[in-house]
Structure 1
């Protein structure tokens, strides 16, 4: 009897030891899973994240086929390329480029009938200005470009360029900095509505 009790006691101790080991193992696996899940989540986010935007911005081939408008923003000549978004025809996006320096600025927003309301970004992330304008019957568009707080309005006056038409020089040598795709074909910009992120990204922040 004493041997039987001793054997049963030894078996119980071994049983608790096994259960304890299993519990510790489970706890360890449980502790590892969140870390693994976090690592996988970070990896997925990294793969899903868009590539970093290279500054200064360069003319996008995506906008090369868009209708072109040429004229002035303030006292400087620009060429605007503006067209409907491929994934959402209700919105418009594009870019404008200063002919004196070649600086490119992204632009996106909406066109509702003859009213144009868009935002601009000089880095593809932060909103740097707002445009509000009206299209005329001849396709030209004019209005004001303002800072994000609606201060310092600057008038813009742009006229559509015909297919194959060269960008007129504002002064001697002006326009030399324009990208080669500036001579792309043009067509009337489609009417659209609905605001959209600048350049197709959704992480815009209002610039100070």
Structure 2
């Protein structure tokens, strides 16, 4: 994945920086307005502004139907929901969630062929990391997640989940299980589930529900 890091500098910054630019433009416009106009603009802004982002972040209904990927980020298991942006042919966005804590992180960036380059944010405003990876023929994606300054690379390896499939325990295959050969004994489902870790008191966490 080292050769992919050189591409990351050319990645378009989306979402997070737009908020700051818009704020600066608005601030310049207010400085030219007379006092009564300021009051009116503030009132209109309060009515038109979206509600503030509540922290910690929660899974978004917007991403609930996106394709899901499960696997490891460093030593922690995550579930990633990733889908295309409607206003950008190469843009992708979504979120990932740590299975052990339930923490949600937003992601946005580009997919160019089999190359994935995205940025993450834990508050919807500030960039907290970069991802660079590649998709394989089977739909899995692997690469490195780094801090904003490209330090502390952590490998990620994620496999696609079938629709409605529960998140498997760490180390178990993430793709739908193949049918066993005739005469082959299979372990009961309860045995497989026994290795799952509970999240908030609920085992077999499924995102998007």
TM-score (structure 1 length as normaliser): 0.67
2:199 pairs, out of 172, 176, 182, with 176
Corresponding residue for residue 130 of structure 2? 130
Query: Quick check: 1:166–1:183 contact (8 Å CA) kept in 2?
Result: no
Corresponding residue for residue 25 of structure 1? none
C-alpha separation in 1, matches of 2:87 and 2:53: 20
Query: Quick check: 2:167–2:205 contact (8 Å CA) kept in 1?
Result: no
Structure 2: unaligned runs, 5 residues or longer: 1-32, 172-194
Structure with greater helix percent? 1
Query: Quick check: 2:166–2:205 contact (8 Å CA) kept in 1?
Result: no
C-alpha separation in 1, matches of 2:198 and 2:167: 7
Query: What pairs with 1:93-108 in structure 2 (closer than 5 Å)?
Result: 93-108=93-108
Distance 1:181 1:88, change over 3 A: farther
| Structure 1 residue 64, shift from structure 2 partner | 0.7
Query: Quick check: 1:64–1:181 contact (8 Å CA) kept in 2?
Result: no
C-alpha separation in 2, matches of 1:183 and 1:64: 4
Query: What pairs with 1:143-162 in structure 2 (closer than 5 Å)?
Result: 143-162=143-162
Relative contact order higher in (CA < 8 Å, ≥ 6 apart): 1
Structure 1: unaligned runs, 5 residues or longer: 1-32, 185-208
Secondary structure of the equivalent of 1:182?
A: coil
Corresponding residue for residue 14 of structure 1? none
Higher Rg of the two aligned structures: 1
1:131-155 deviations in whole A, cap 9, x for unaligned?
A: 0000011110000000001100000
| Structure 1 residue 165, shift from structure 2 partner | 1.5
Q: Give aligned pairs, total.
A: 152
C-alpha separation in 2, matches of 1:54 and 1:89: 29
Secondary structure of the equivalent of 1:126?
A: coil
Query: Quick check: 2:91–2:108 contact (8 Å CA) kept in 1?
Result: yes
TM-score (structure 2 length as normaliser): 0.67
Backbone CA RMSD of aligned residues: 2.1
